[in-house]
Structure formats: structure tokens, C-alpha cells
């Protein structure tokens, strides 16, 4: 396979892998876990294979058009930044799968976890590799949806449901903003291709709509990456199982926003607006998150706010806008992913072993689990920025870059100071994570005796911690080349020379680190004295509360409107709907210019039409007057239907007339079958006033509709169908334009419609499935009817075949033929007796319906084999020995599908209703 | 002829509206059937009122085929909807013992 295809495969593999847990549902958890783990492993292998070219400075792309007029392309691009992210997503995903095998309890649905995790992984890879902004937005929404499922994994817990909803609401809204921003940006740049946009950064930043695009896109990025003030969803998402938190909040979901900013860095960065918005938000988030993290008592709460703080740090670096700061941002993305994932996993181990995550109840665990303790300590030290670990290096770079602002007025002083302050808090909460859990007094009493976790649960943590140390000690060896290609991709140009060394001599950044270290330790132990820290309770204003108020407001508005429009039973609702549509129908006449009347009578009246009109009018009036006499009402309705069919026939609609007649027969049959199950005489429970009011309502509606029809018919005008009539023979290969439109020009529409029919039939079957079925009814049909049926049966089927075959050129076709076939098949019990029919007709009409849908869909898909769009048709002439020259069209196959669906649906419905035993349930007033 | 069609459409609509505002399920089904007649005819005549000009390509002038194609599927879908409603009405009666649209008289 070509490298481009391999690239697409990387994105597709996890989506395909979603099936694995379903296929292995009965196997052991270990099997499922390993099978799921193969997916990221394989994709990672592909990535490494392709990565050799990326390290050599190449960019691998793959694209094919999707919806061209929207500018939507399936375009992927593997450069340094994409490779870094894809690598993080896959590698940490693999570790999380291994870890989760031992973390999840026996009663947790295991397969579902892996399916959702792999789906999420695929969506994240899509974001990382996409080269089209719309495609990015699609994958962005997919991550919002799949993270909603993952966060709400323990759906029986209210906090999980709330957290999942909140994450979806906040990131989903951000996704909408991103979509809007992508469109604005596409409008400015004239393309949605990210690599093309990145080439014209200067021009885009000079465009008057640039601020709008920037704000919208940043809204998307900030909500996803939990930047202040949208951060509140992240701590609430901690109701997820810890492996999910480790995955979503270290390497993937929350990094998507940062990734987007980095991806569009050449396009968007470099303006003052970017500096103030991104830098300002990052700085606020950095220090706010760090302080709140210190005051959380829940281990995961601490990690959540620390994550917010570190995301702020990276945002700040991106906002600074200097090339070196961008390098530092990429570096910290790597470092944060490694130490934060391991800390989340460590927190999960502690929770797993002690049954609590509350640091006020934890303590002294060092004696029970020293290995976990060492691992957590190293990772926490990296988070605090202790030398010899990777966190130290990127934090040094941050300090150095904030100092580089010295020329920028007030910001030159404020930013380094606030960054140092955040460093102080960072050291303090890292210290708390270790001291409050592993030390701080003797071991406490827990529900169970804590000890070291299973071997495989610790291995992922060990891998990550080893990485922290390796990068920390020898950064140039382990991360130098990767950082170089990734930064190059962010900057879209030359990478500034940076030195990844442990020791840069005594300088100001080192001093800032030292201050943070000493002051942080002092702060922590000061707060911890006398239990002050444990006594703190969070409170005050929070984004969470604003969110809650907003949600409550929306719900109350909805309730108010529902009460207004939907109270007082179904009839009132129907009346509200009708009144609304009446207003909507009248409105255009009031507010828009309407063309003048062109003529009054175009077609002269004839006696046949007048007779039909009189019959229909009388029958309609009778139905209204005596609708409670149900049998009579059904027959009269059928009569009106036949007149309508006559009107179709008279006014040049032979196909419609055929269809209407057969549908009328089927409808009347169905109503007659239903009558035994309903009261024979309807109750009279409308007051005279009500009937008068409804009549007035009906007359207004009737006048409006009749008037509208009159208005429309007396104004000519051109129609859109001349082209279709002209193309019918050369394009569709048929002279019956109606049929050609149905099976060819508007075939997709028809396909949707037969699907709806099939769905309706399934619904009917489902509704009837719980009813008792009768065995054959003893009474046989009258002799005359039986005789008639015998004659009609073969002819009926023959007529159906005839109608079907000629349908493409003369009135007929799949719909009509299907209706005739079903109406004929219903006769079989009359001809051969019910008992015989029950034995003989063993056709499963579910299968007929399904086969019809499959044939129609398959015909449509067949066009793909010839490189044409879905449902393109072909036609031609076939010279057969006996039949002679036969004209064929692929649309005939589609029509066969339509035919089978109609037959199947009708038979399912008629048979279903006919076999239900009438059961006298007469209890209410006004029944028989 | 336009007048006949317009009045028929108006009449079917009025009958349909009156019937779907009844309290029992069966007249509601009938009412929807009448509304279908009205709407189908309405869309049908949007293509013009022509006698003896079916939309078959023969060289002779023919009526507008597109509304007919729309109405044809509408008739079939309408049947599906009617069938669904009828069975729903039967089921409702079985579940609640009444044929009142609100499930309780």
C-alpha cells in the first residue's frame, strides 16, 4: 500500500476496532483487552513506519474530495505536529487499555468501555491528522460525543451523568463556535485546507474579518482545553473511571484545543489580538488552576485543576507568539502528557487499593505501597518542575520566555511574576499529592488493606515515569528530533536553535525555579499546619453555578412554552399546530408581492367532472355527518377516494389513478379489519359548542386551502420540470416520465420513502406482536366470493407483472405493481381456504421487505463500482434470441426493489391485523 | 374546471380538519385520509389542469410530470401512515380500553 493509504488506515483502524469488543463479547476480559490493545499497537507501528519520512523532513498527505461545493475534503496530512499528537494518542491509549483491564470492576461493562475508548481514539486521530478545517470540526464533534459517553460510563451514578452532560454542553457549544470560525476563516482565505491557509497567514491577519474568525476559533479551543472561564466542566468530568480521566485529560481531549491553536499558529498567531486573548487567558488559567488545585481534597480534583493550570501554561506559551515559546509549548505538551497520565493512573491505583480518593482520609501509604509511592513521587516532582525530570526543562523554558517579554511594558513585569506565583502553587500542590497521601502521619484505617496493585496495572505507570526521567536527563537524545520536527510544523518555517540541556548556568529562570521551589514548600507546610488545609472548603462564584443557572433557565422556558402550547389534551395541540400552519400559510400573501391573476377558467367544465364532484361532495358531507356510524363512514370514504382516483385519471395522471385505486382498496380493507377492534359506533362526547367551534375552524381552513388552490391554478408560470421531461428518454431510458423521475432522477428520494414504508411496517408488526394470534377462523367465505377470487387471482398477478414490466415506458411501475400483487395475494385464503393458505404461504414478508430494500440500495451502490455517484443509472439495448430487442435500464432493478418493499409492507400489515383476535375490551362509555 | 377542483380541495380540507379534531381515534384516521386527498390534489393541480395529456413521451404535448411523481410517493407514504395510525388506534384501545385520543375519556 502507498504511504497515503497507510495514513488513512491509521485513522480508520480504531473506528474498525470498535467492533472488536462486540465480536469477542463472550471471551474473557483479558482477551478483549489484548485484542483492543492490538489496534493502537498496529496503528502506532504504521505511524513509526511513516515517521521515518517525516523525520527526514517530508510531509505525507492523502486526500479525496467529499462534498466539493462546501470545500469539504477527506484530507489527511502527517507532519511533525500531527505525528507527535498521533503518537501520544496511540501510545497513551495503549497504556490506558492495559491499565483499565485491572482497574475496572467485575460488574462494569467491559466491552462497552473498549468500544467507546477506541471510537474516541479514532476521533482524536482524525483531529490530529486532518488537513481540512471542516473535517476537523466533524472529528471535533465526534470527540465531544464519544467523550460524553466515556465520562458518563458509570451511567448509574448521577455525578457521572451530570459531568458528562456538562462536558458535552460546554465542548459541544465550543464545537459550534469552531465550525462557525472555520467557515469565516475559509471565507477569508478562500480555502478550508489547513496547509493552504497556513501559507497565507499575513493576508488573513490583515483581513477585517480576522478578529471574528479568531474569536470563534478560540472559543472552540478554549472550551475544549478547559481554559478559564470554561474550565468548570473538567473537574466535573472526574466522575469518569480513572483510565478515562488519564486518557482524556492528559494526552487527548483537552489537548485538542491546544493542538488546534498550534495547528493554525502560522495563520492566526502573531497579532496583538492573539497575544492578549491567548496569552491573557493562558496566564489567568495557569495561576487560577494552580491555586484551586492546592485547595482540592479529592486526588482527582487536584489533578483536574492542575491539568487546567498546565493547559493554561501551554496556552500562555502559544500566546507569547515567539518561536522559542512555541517550541516550549510543544515540549510541555509532551511532558505534561507523560507525567499527568502517570499521576492519574497512580491516583487510580490509590483509589483502587484504599477505596477513597479523599486526601483528608488518606495518609501513611508509604509503608503499604512503596513502589507506587516512588513512581508517584517521580511523576509529581516532574509536575512541580524538579531538575533531572522533564517537567523542569519545559518550565525553565517558560520562565525564560516570560522574561523575554521585558520590552513589552507592564506585561514584561506581570507575566514573569504571575508565572512564578503559579510555579509556587504548582510545587505546593505537587507536594501535597505526595505528602498527604504517602506520609503525613501513620497509616490510616481503610475498608480494605492496601497493598501494591497487580503487576500489569503498574507497568503503564512505570513506562511513563521512565520516560519522564529519560527525557529529563538526556532531552536532546530522547526528544530532540521529535521536538524539532513538531516545532517546525507549528511554526511553518525555520525552527529557532534551542538547546535542550539540563544545565544552562546560573541565570534568572533558574532563580525563578528556586524561588518557586522554596516558596512552594514553605506555603504547603504552612497551610498544612494545624490542619488548616484540610478545613478549607471551596465556595464562592464559579462557572459551574452560572452553568447550572443557565440550564435551569432553559428548562423553565421549555416548561413554560410546553404548558402554553401542549396542555389540554391532544385536540388542543392539534388545533395549535393547525392555527400555526394557517398563519404561516397566510403570511407570504401579506408580506410579499404576489403575481396578478392571469386567467379565470382555462379548462372548460364537462359533465363527467361535474358528476364526480357531486358524488364526492355528497359522500364527504355524509362522512362528516355520520362519522360515528363507522362501517358506513369507511365505505363512503372509499367512494370519495375513488372519485379522487377518477380525477387523477381525467386530468392526465394515469399513474396516480392506478396507485390511488389500489391504495384505496387496501385502505378500506385495513379499516374494515380494524373495525372489530374498535367500538362500532363512536361515542358522542363533543358538546354542541365544541362542534360549532371545530366546524368554524374547519371552514376557515377549507376556504384557505381551496382559495390557495384557486389562486395557484389561475396563475400560470413556468415550472422546473421541462428539463426532466426532455431528459427522460435520453437520460433515463424511459418514456413514462413519472416513473423515470421516481426510479432515476429522484431515486434517492424514493429510496428514502420505501425505507420509511418499511420502518412503518416494522412499527406496525411490533405493535401487534404482543397481541394473541388466532388460528384459522372456522367460518368460510361465501361461495360467490370464492369463485370470483379463483378467477381474479391469476389475472391479478399477471396484471401486476404486466404493470411492472411496462412501468418505465407506460403507466405502471414498482409501486402500482406491488400494490396490485399484495391486493391479489390477500385473495389466496378465499380461493383455497384459510387453512390451506396458512400452510401454503410460508413466505416471510419481513424478508421480502428487507430484500427489496437491499436490492434498491444495492442498485444504488452498484453505481459506485463504475465510479459514478450513488444511484446513477445506466440503460441500453439487449438483443435476446426469442424476445428480440429488449430495452433495459438499471433503474428497473431499483424498481424491483421498490416493488418488493411495497408487497412486503402491505402483506405484513394486512396479515398482521387480520390475524389478531378481536377482544372485547368494552369498558368505557359509548362503546358498543 | 379549476373552480370544481378548488372547491373539492376546500371541501376535503374542511372535512379533514373537522374530523381530526374529534375526540375518538377512528374519525381522526378518516380525517387524515381526507386531508391526504386534499393535499395530493393540491400538489397534483400545481402542475396545471390538462385533459388528455399524460406525461408519457410521445411527441404530443404533455402535462407537468414532477408533481405527479411527488404525489405518487405521497399516496404510498400516506397509506403507510394511515396503516400505522389504524394499528395504533387498535393497540390504544387494547391497552386503555378506550378509543379516546387522550387515552382516557
B100 min Cα distance to partner chain A (Å): 9
Please report, for chain A, how many H helices and E strands are present, in that order: 41, 4
B59 CB within 8 Å of a chain A CB: no
A6-33, pLDDT tens digit by residue? Answer: 999 999 999 999 988 888 878 888 888 8
For an interface test with A, give the residue of B43, B72, B101 to mutate (most A CBs within 10 A): B72
Chain B residues lying within 8 Å of A902, measured CB to CB: 76
Residues of A in contact with B11 (CB under 8 A): 616-617, 620, 702, 706
**Contact residues, B window 16-35, toward A, CB-based 8 Å cutoff:** 16-27, 29-30, 33-34
Q: Is A133 on the interface with B (CB under 8 A)?
A: no
Please give the average per-residue pLDDT across A76-105, as a whole number.
91
End-to-end Cα spacing for chain B: 44
Q: Give me the residues of A, 733-772, that contact B with CB < 8 A.
A: 735-738, 741-742, 746, 749-750, 753, 756-757, 760-761, 763-764, 767-768, 771
Which pLDDT score is estimated for A819? Answer: 87
Cα dihedral A394, A398, A403, A408, rounded to 10, equals: 150
pLDDT tens-digit readout, B51-97 = 877 887 777 777 888 888 889 889 988 988 999 999 998 888 888 88
Determine, for residues A637 and B33 on separate chains, whether the beta-carbon distance falls below 8 Å.
Answer: yes
B52 close to A (CB below 8 A): yes
Looking at the predicted structure, is the pLDDT value of residue A922 above 50?
A: no
Q: Where are the domains of chain B?
A: 2-51+62-96
pLDDT value of residue A927: 36
Task: Please say if the pLDDT value at position A926 is more than 50.
Answer: no
Quote the mean pLDDT of chain B: 87
> Are the C-beta atoms of A86 and A255 separated by less than 8 Å?
no
Q: Do B55 and A738 touch (CB under 8 A)?
A: yes
Distance CA A487, CA A42 (A): 26
Q: Copy the grid coordinates of residue A181.
A: 470560525
Tell whether the model's pLDDT for residue A852 goes beyond 60.
Answer: yes
In angstroms, rounded to a whole number, what is the distance separating the alpha carbons of residues A908 and A30? 45
Distance CA A595, CA A718 (A): 13
C-alpha to C-alpha distance for A862 and A881, rounded to whole angstroms:
27
Q: Which residue of A has its CA nearest to B7?
A: A706
Distance from CA of A839 to the nearest CA of B (A): 25
How far, in Å, CA of A491 to CA of A318, rounded?
11
Chain A nearest C-alpha distance from B28 (Å): 10
Tell me whether A577 touches chain B (CB under 8 Å). no
Q: Do B14 and A698 touch (CB under 8 A)?
A: yes
Which residues of chain B are within 8 Å of residue A633 when distances are taken between CB atoms? 26-27, 30
Q: Is the separation of the CB atoms in A554 and A562 below 8 Å?
A: no
Looking at the complex, does the CB of residue A603 fall below 8 Å from at least one CB of chain B?
yes
Cβ atoms of A60 and A7 closer than 8 Å: yes
Q: Is the pLDDT of residue A866 over 70?
A: no
Contact B5 A742 (CB under 8 A): no
Give Cα separations from A368 to A347, A363, A455 (angstroms): 15, 11, 15
pLDDT of residue A928 exceeding 50, the answer is no
Among all residues of chain A, which has the CA nearest to that of B43? A709
Query: Is A424 exposed, middle or buried, given 0-12, 13-18 or 19+ CB atoms closer than 10 A?
Result: buried
Topology adopted by domain B2-51+62-96: Helix Hairpins (1.10.287)
Asked whether the beta carbons of A742 and A813 are under 8 A apart, the reply is: yes
For chain B, say whether A778 makes contact (Cβ under 8 Å). no
Q: Give yes or no for residue A241 having a pLDDT over 60.
A: yes
Question: For residue B97, what is the nearest residue in chain A, using CA coordinates?
Answer: A921
SS3 A75: strand
Using a CB-CB cut-off of 8 Å, the residues of chain A touching B7 are 613, 706
Please list, residue by residue across A334-352, b when 16 or more beta carbons sit within 10 angstroms of its beta carbon and e when fewer do.
Answer: bbbbbbbbbbbbbbbbbbb
Q: Work out the widest C-alpha separation in chain B, in whole angstroms.
A: 60
| Per-position DSSP letters for A660-723, written without gaps between them | HHHHHHHHHHHHHHHGGGS-SB----S-HHHHHHHHHHHHHHHHHHHHHHHHHHT-----TTHH
What pLDDT shows up at residue A494?
82
By C-alpha distance, the chain A residue nearest B90 is A677
The residue among A711, A733, A754, A758 whose CA lies nearest residue A872 is A733
> Burial code of A509-532, b = ≥16 C-beta within 10 A, e = fewer?
bbebbebbbebbbebbeebbeeee
Strand-pairing partners, residue A61, are A77
- Is residue A542 predicted with pLDDT exceeding 80? no
Total CB pairs under 8 A between chain A and B: 320
Q: Grid cell 493502537 — which residue?
A: A40
**Closest alpha carbon to A797 in A772, A825, A777, A775:** A825
A717 at interface of B, judged by CB pairs closer than 8 A: no
CA distances from A366 to A49, A369, A608 (A): 42, 6, 100
Interface test with chain B among A569, A700, A713, by most B beta carbons within 10 Å: A713
pTM of the model: 0.71
- Concatenating the DSSP letter of every residue in A550-611 gives HHHHHHHHHHHHHHHHH-SHHHHHHHHHHHHHHHHHHHHHHHS--PPP--S-SSPP-HHHHH
Q: What share of chain B is helix, strand, coil (3-state, %, to 5)?
A: 70, 5, 30
- Cβ contacts of A122 within 8 Å, gap of 6 or more: A11, A12, A13, A14, A15, A17, A18, A142
CB-CB neighbours of A902 under 10 Å: 29
Contact state of A674 with B86 under an 8 Å Cβ cutoff: yes
Average pLDDT over residues A848-870: 79
Share of chain A above pLDDT 70, in %: 90
- A650–B51 CB contact, under 8 Å: yes
Q: Which of A705, A720, A810 sits opposite B56 (nearest CB)?
A: A810
Residue among A94, A108, A136 at smallest CA distance from A246 = A94
Amino acid at each position: 500500500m502507498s504511504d497515503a493509504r497507510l495514513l488513512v488506515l491509521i485513522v480508520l483502524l480504531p473506528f474498525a476496532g470498535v467492533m472488536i469488543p462486540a465480536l469477542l463479547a463472550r471471551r474473557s476480559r483479558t482477551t478483549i483487552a489484548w485484542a483492543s490493545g492490538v489496534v493502537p499497537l498496529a496503528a502506532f507501528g504504521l505511524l513509526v513506519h511513516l515517521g521515518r519520512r517525516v523525520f527526514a523532513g517530508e510531509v505525507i498527505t492523502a486526500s479525496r474530495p467529499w462534498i466539493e461545493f462546501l470545500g469539504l475534503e477527506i484530507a489527511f496530512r502527517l507532519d511533525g505536529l500531527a505525528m507527535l499528537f498521533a503518537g501520544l494518542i496511540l501510545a497513551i491509549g495503549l497504556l490506558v487499555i492495559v491499565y483499565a483491564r485491572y482497574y475496572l470492576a467485575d460488574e462494569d461493562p467491559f466491552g462497552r468501555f473498549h468500544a467507546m475508548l477506541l471510537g474516541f481514539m479514532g476521533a482524536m486521530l482524525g483531529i490530529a491528522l486532518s488537513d481540512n478545517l471542516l473535517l476537523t470540526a466533524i472529528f471535533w464533534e465526534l470527540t465531544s460525543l464519544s467523550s460524553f459517553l466515556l465520562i458518563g460510563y458509570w451511567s448509574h451514578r448521577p455525578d457521572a451523568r451530570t459531568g458528562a452532560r456538562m462536558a458535552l454542553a460546554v465542548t459541544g457549544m465550543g464545537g459550534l463556535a469552531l465550525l462557525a470560525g472555520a467557515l469565516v476563516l475559509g471565507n477569508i482565505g478562500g480555502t478550508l485546507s489547513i496547509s493552504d491557509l497556513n501559507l497565507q497567514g499575513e493576508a488573513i491577519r490583515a483581513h477585517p474579518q480576522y478578529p471574528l474568525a479568531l474569536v470563534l476559533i478560540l472559543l472552540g479551543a478554549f472550551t475544549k482545553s478547559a481554559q478559564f472561564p470554561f474550565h468548570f466542566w473538567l473537574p466535573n468530568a472526574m466522575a469518569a473511571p480513572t483510565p478515562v480521566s488519564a486518557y482524556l485529560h492528559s494526552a487527548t481531549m483537552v489537548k485538542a484545543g491546544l493542538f488546534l491553536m498550534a495547528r493554525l499558529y502560522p495563520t492566526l498567531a502573531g497579532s496583538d489580538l492573539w497575544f492578549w486573548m491567548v496569552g491573557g487567558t493562558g496566564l489567568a488559567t495557569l495561576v487560577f488552576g494552580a491555586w484551586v488545585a492546592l485547595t482540592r481534597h479529592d486526588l482527582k480534583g487536584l489533578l483536574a485543576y492542575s491539568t487546567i493550570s498546565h493547559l493554561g501554561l501551554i496556552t500562555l506559551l502559544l500566546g507569547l507568539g515567539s518561536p522559542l515559546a512555541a517550541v516550549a509549548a510543544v515540549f510541555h505538551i509532551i511532558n505534561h502528557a507523560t507525567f499527568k497520565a502517570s499521576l492519574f493512573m497512580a491516583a487510580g491505583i490509590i483509589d483502587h487499593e484504599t477505596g477513597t480518593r479523599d486526601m483528608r482520609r488518606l495518609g501513611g501509604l508509604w509503608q503499604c505501597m512503596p513502589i507506587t509511592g516512588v513512581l508517584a513521587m517521580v511523576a509529581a516532582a516532574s509536575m512541580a518542575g524538579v531538575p533531572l525530570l522533564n517537567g523542569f526543562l519545559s518550565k525553565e523554558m517558560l520562565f525564560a520566555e516570560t522574561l523575554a517579554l521585558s520590552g513589552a511594558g507592564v506585561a514584561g513585569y506581570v507575566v514573569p511574576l504571575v508565572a512564578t506565583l503559579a510555579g509556587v502553587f504548582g510545587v505546593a500542590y505537587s507536594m501535597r499529592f505526595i505528602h498527604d497521601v504517602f506520609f503525613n502521619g501513620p497509616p490510616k484505617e481503610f475498608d480494605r488493606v492496601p497493598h501494591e496493585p497487580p503487576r500489569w496495572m503498574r507497568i503503564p505507570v512505570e513506562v511513563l515515569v521512565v520516560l519522564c526521567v529519560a527525557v529529563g536527563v538526556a532531552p536532546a537524545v530522547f526528544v530532540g528530533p521529535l521536538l524539532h520536527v513538531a516545532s517546525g510544523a507549528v511554526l511553518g518555517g525555520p525552527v529557532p536553535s534551542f538547546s535542550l540541556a539540563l544545565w544552562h548556568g546560573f541565570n534568572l529562570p533558574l532563580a525563578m525555579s528556586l524561588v518557586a521551589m522554596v516558596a512552594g514548600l514553605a506555603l504547603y507546610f504552612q497551610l498544612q499546619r494545624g490542619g488548616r488545609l484540610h478545613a478549607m472548603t471551596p465556595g464562592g462564584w464559579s462557572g459551574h453555578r452560572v452553568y447550572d443557572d443557565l440550564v435551569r433557565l432553559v428548562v423553565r422556558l421549555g416548561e413554560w412554552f410546553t404548558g402554553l402550547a401542549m396542555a389540554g389534551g391532544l385536540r388542543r395541540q392539534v388545533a395549535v399546530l393547525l392555527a400555526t400552519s394557517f398563519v404561516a400559510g397566510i403570511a407570504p400573501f401579506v408580506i410579499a408581492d404576489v403575481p396578478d391573476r392571469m386567467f379565470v377558467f382555462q379548462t372548460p367544465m364537462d359533465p363527467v367532472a361535474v358528476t364526480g364532484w357531486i358524488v364526492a361532495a355528497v359522500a364527504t358531507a355524509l362522512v362528516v355527518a355520520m362519522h360515528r356510524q363507522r362501517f358506513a363512514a369507511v365505505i363512503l370514504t372509499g367512494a370519495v377516494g375513488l372519485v379522487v382516483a377518477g380525477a387523477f385519471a381525467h386530468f392526465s395522471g394515469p399513474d396516480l389513478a392506478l396507485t390511488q385505486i389500489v391504495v384505496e382498496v387496501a385502505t378500506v380493507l385495513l379499516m374494515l379489519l380494524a373495525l372489530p377492534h374498535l367500538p362500532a359506533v363512536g361515542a358522542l362526547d363533543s358538546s354542541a359548542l365544541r362542534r360549532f367551534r371545530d366546524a368554524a375552524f374547519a371552514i376557515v381552513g377549507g376556504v384557505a386551502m381551496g382559495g390557495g388552490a384557486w389562486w395557484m391554478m389561475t396563475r400560470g408560470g413556468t415550472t422546473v420540470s421541462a428539463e426532466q421531461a426532455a431528459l427522460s428518454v435520453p437520460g433515463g431510458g424511459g418514456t413514462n416520465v413519472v416513473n423515470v423521475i421516481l426510479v432515476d432522477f429522484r431515486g434517492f428520494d424514493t429510496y428514502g420513502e420505501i425505507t420509511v414504508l418499511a420502518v412503518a411496517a416494522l412499527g406496525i408488526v411490533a405493535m401487534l406482536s404482543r397481541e394473541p394470534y388466532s388460528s384459522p377462523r372456522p367460518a368460510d367465505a361465501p361461495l360467490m366470493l370464492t369463485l370470483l377470487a379463483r378467477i381474479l387471482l391469476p389475472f391479478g398477478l399477471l396484471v401486476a407483472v404486466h404493470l411492472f414490466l411496462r412501468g418505465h415506458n407506460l403507466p405502471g411501475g414498482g409501486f402500482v405493481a406491488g400494490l396490485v400483487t399484495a391486493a391479489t395475494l390477500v385473495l389466496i385464503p378465499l380461493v383455497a381456504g384459510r387453512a390451506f393458505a396458512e400452510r401454503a404461504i410460508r413466505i416471510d414478508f419481513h424478508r421480502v421487505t428487507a430484500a427489496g430494500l437491499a436490492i434498491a440500495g444495492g442498485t444504488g451502490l452498484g453505481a459506485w463500482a463504475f465510479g459514478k455517484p450513488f444511484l446513477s443509472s445506466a440503460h441500453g439495448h439487449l438483443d435476446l434470441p426469442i424476445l428480440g430487442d429488449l430495452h433495459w435500464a438499471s433503474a428497473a432493478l431499483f424498481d424491483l426493489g421498490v416493488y418488493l418493499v411495497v408487497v412486503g409492507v402491505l402483506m405484513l400489515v394486512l396479515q398482521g391485523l387480520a390475524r389478531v383476535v378481536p377482544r372485547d375490551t368494552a369498558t368505557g362509555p359509548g362503546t358498543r | 374546471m379549476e373552480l370544481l377542483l378548488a372547491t373539492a380541495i376546500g371541501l376535503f380540507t374542511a372535512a379533514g380538519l373537522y374530523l381530526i379534531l374529534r375526540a375518538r381515534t377512528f374519525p381522526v384516521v378518516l380525517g387524515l385520509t381526507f386531508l391526504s386527498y386534499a393535499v395530493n390534489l393540491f400538489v397534483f393541480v400545481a402542475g396545471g389542469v390538462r385533459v388528455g395529456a399524460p406525461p408519457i413521451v410521445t411527441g404530443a404535448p404533455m402535462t407537468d410530470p414532477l408533481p405527479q411523481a411527488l404525489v405518487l410517493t405521497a399516496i404510498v407514504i400516506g397509506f403507510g401512515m394511515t396503516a400505522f395510525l389504524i394499528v395504533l388506534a387498535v393497540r390504544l384501545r387494547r391497552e386503555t380500553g378506550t378509543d379516546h385520543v387522550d387515552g382516557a375519556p
